[in-house]
């Protein structure tokens, strides 16, 4: 009997040893080695040409600025996963807390014939987002007279791209965790990009959509040009601060709150997206056909025509201040499309737009543009963003902007074309008669 037990225990010991061996093998595995120059399979966008339409492919691309593949960290920017963005609504401040579990911040990658292959969806999106940003840095010099390296040098540290972050909103003592979907954002306060979780309505995940990322990058360029790279915040709730702001048309933080300027920012970003991608609609083909926004062409530079007067209701364009932006972008596109087949000329045009945008804020401080600007509304002077269009106030802000833009524009022929487009698209509400005299100067 005892002998039987010895046999049994011996057999069990062998089984246990087998399981232990399995455990040992499994625990000793680690990330594969990758060797520079790194190549990866990514979601890639090919701009349209005269011979073919724009196209999306999964392709092998070289990631020349990638330094740490498993963290998708590059020379100029890094893709950060597993981060929580904390928003304090009471102060309007944003803080970022990256995941404390560092093992989980490593993406799941594989080395296949010298090519980095994603082992799950998020890792594919991360590699693709990196490729998109790298393309933007490389092509930046074709859009604005600043190279990607210089743009980076001024900031001094890697730009952070937060992929699928969670948002924790803190209102007084209550924290709420949000999981935004189907969106992307640029945070001018920190120069951070947020690429939110994808959803079932997307065909091309926005987090890896080169056109959408180019649009968000456009906001960074708007900050660099219109805001001279500075982020001003409207602060102070006291009566005295309110009075001071009411009497200062250029008070710090005003332009980030103004409805019209928010629209211009969006339109400029769409224009920049067009310059990078030659696509007239950053959202074209991004969504499934049944999605309510999929058929909406009001964002397209070649979409259904509307004017500033139409924005009194949202029947023609329901995109709020984005609609103002589309009008501005369409005016720029009317000139740009003439240069599409001539890369040098279209780059020079883009340089002129950028250079003009850098001068608008200075002109706002001078006559006659200072006079064109309306006194800040009570809402704005309280540091509150305008939730909806307010005519004629927003038309006055817009008129001052358009007048300053035209006044600073360096090319006479294009200036005349811009004047004609602005007059047609913004009408007398958005480009007031008294400000149009800059077109004849």
Partner 1 sequence: MFALFDSLLPLMSLGIAVAGGERTDAGFTTSNISEYEIFTQGYLQLPFDNVFLRPGARLGFGYNDSDGPSNPIRIFETTYKAGAELALLYSGIVVPTFSIQGFVLNRALKLSLPDNVTTNSNLMNRTEWLYSNTVSLSVGIPVFDGRVLIEPFYRLVNIDNDFRQDDLFGCEFSVSMNLQAADSL
**Footprint of partner 1 (CB under 8 A):** 5, 7-8, 11-12, 15-16, 18-19, 22-23, 25-27, 29-31, 41, 43, 55-60, 81-82, 103-108, 110, 112-113, 115, 117-124, 126, 163-166, 179, 197-205, 208, 285, 288, 290
Q: Which residue, 115 or 316, has its beta carbon nearer to partner 1?
A: 115
Sheet holding 66-68, edge to edge: 66-68, 73-74, 77-81, 159-163, 192-195, 184-187
The dihedral through the CA atoms of 317, 321, 322, 325 has a sign that is positive
Tell which residue, 121, 95, 113, has the closest CA to residue 35. Answer: 113
The Cα–Cα gap between 263 and 287 comes to: 23
Compare residues 31 and 243 and give the one whose CB is closer to partner 1.
31
Q: Where does 171-258 have alpha helices with state H?
A: 210-225, 239-246, 254-257
How far apart are CB 282 and partner 1 at their closest, in Å? Answer: 15
Rounded to a whole number of angstroms, the minimum distance from the CB of residue 99 to partner 1 is 8
What single string gives the DSSP state of each residue in 305-329?
---GGGGGSSSS--STHHHHHHHHH
Separation CA 158–CA 150 (nearest Å): 12
- Closer CB to partner 1, residue 113 or residue 440? 113
- Which is closer to partner 1, CB of 30 or CB of 440? 30
Min separation Cβ 399 and partner 1, Å = 41
Query: Smaller CB distance to partner 1: residue 182 or 396?
Result: 182
**At its nearest, how many Å lie between partner 1 and the CB of residue 224?**
29
DSSP 383: T
Tell me how far, at minimum, the Cβ of 58 lies from partner 1, in Å.
4
Q: Smallest gap, in angstroms, from Cβ of residue 192 to partner 1?
A: 15
> Between 94 and 115, whose beta carbon lies closer to partner 1?
115
Burial class (CB in 10 A: 0-12, 13-18, 19+), 200: exposed
């Amino acid at each position: 009997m005892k002998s039987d037990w010895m046999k049994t225990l011996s057999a069990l010991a062998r089984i246990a040893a087998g399981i232990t061996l399995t455990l040992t093998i499994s625990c000793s595995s680690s990330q594969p080695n990758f060797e520079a120059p790194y190549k990866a399979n990514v979601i890639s966008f090919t701009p349209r040409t005269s011979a073919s339409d724009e196209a999306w492919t999964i392709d092998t691309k070289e990631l020349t600025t990638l330094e740490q593949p498993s963290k998708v960290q590059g020379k100029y920017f890094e893709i950060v996963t597993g981060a929580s963005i904390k928003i304090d609504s009471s102060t309007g401040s944003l803080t970022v807390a990256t995941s404390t579990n560092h093992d989980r911040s490593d993406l799941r990658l594989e080395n296949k014939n010298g090519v980095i292959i994603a082992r799950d969806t998020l890792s594919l999106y991360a590699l693709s987002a990196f490729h998109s940003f790298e393309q933007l840095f490389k092509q930046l010099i074709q859009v604005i007279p600043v190279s990607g390296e210089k743009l980076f040098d001024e900031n001094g540290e890697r730009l952070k791209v937060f992929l699928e972050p969670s948002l924790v909103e803190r209102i007084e003592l209550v924290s709420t965790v949000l999981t935004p979907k189907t969106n992307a954002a640029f945070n001018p306060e920190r120069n951070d990009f947020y690429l939110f979780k994808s959803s079932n309505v997307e065909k091309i995940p926005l987090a890896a959509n080169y056109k959408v990322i180019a649009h968000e990058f456009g906001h960074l360029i708007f900050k660099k040009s219109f805001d001279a790279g500075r982020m001003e915040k409207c602060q102070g709730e006291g009566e005295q601060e309110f009075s001071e702001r009411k009497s200062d048309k250029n008070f710090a933080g005003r332009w980030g709150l103004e409805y019209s300027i928010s629209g211009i920012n969006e339109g400029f970003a769409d224009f920049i997206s067009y310059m990078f991608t030659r696509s007239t609609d950053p959202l074209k083909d991004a969504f499934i056909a049944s999605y309510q926004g999929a058929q909406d062409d009001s964002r397209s530079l070649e979409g259904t025509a509307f004017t500033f007067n139409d924005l009194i209701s949202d029947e023609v364009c329901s995109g709020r201040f984005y609609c103002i932006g589309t009008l501005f972008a369409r005016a720029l596109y009317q000139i740009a499309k003439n240069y599409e087949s001539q890369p040098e000329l279209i780059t020079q045009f883009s340089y002129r737009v950028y250079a003009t945008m850098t001068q608008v804020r200075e002109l706002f401080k001078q006559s006659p543009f200072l006079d064109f600007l309306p006194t800040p509304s009570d809402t704005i002077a309280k540091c509150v963003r305008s939730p909806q269009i307010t005519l004629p106030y927003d038309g006055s802000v817009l008129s001052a902007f358009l007048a300053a833009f035209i006044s600073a524009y360096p090319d006479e022929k294009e200036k005349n074309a811009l004047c004609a487009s602005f007059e047609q698209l913004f009408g007398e509400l958005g480009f007031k008669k008294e400000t149009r005299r800059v077109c004849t100067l």
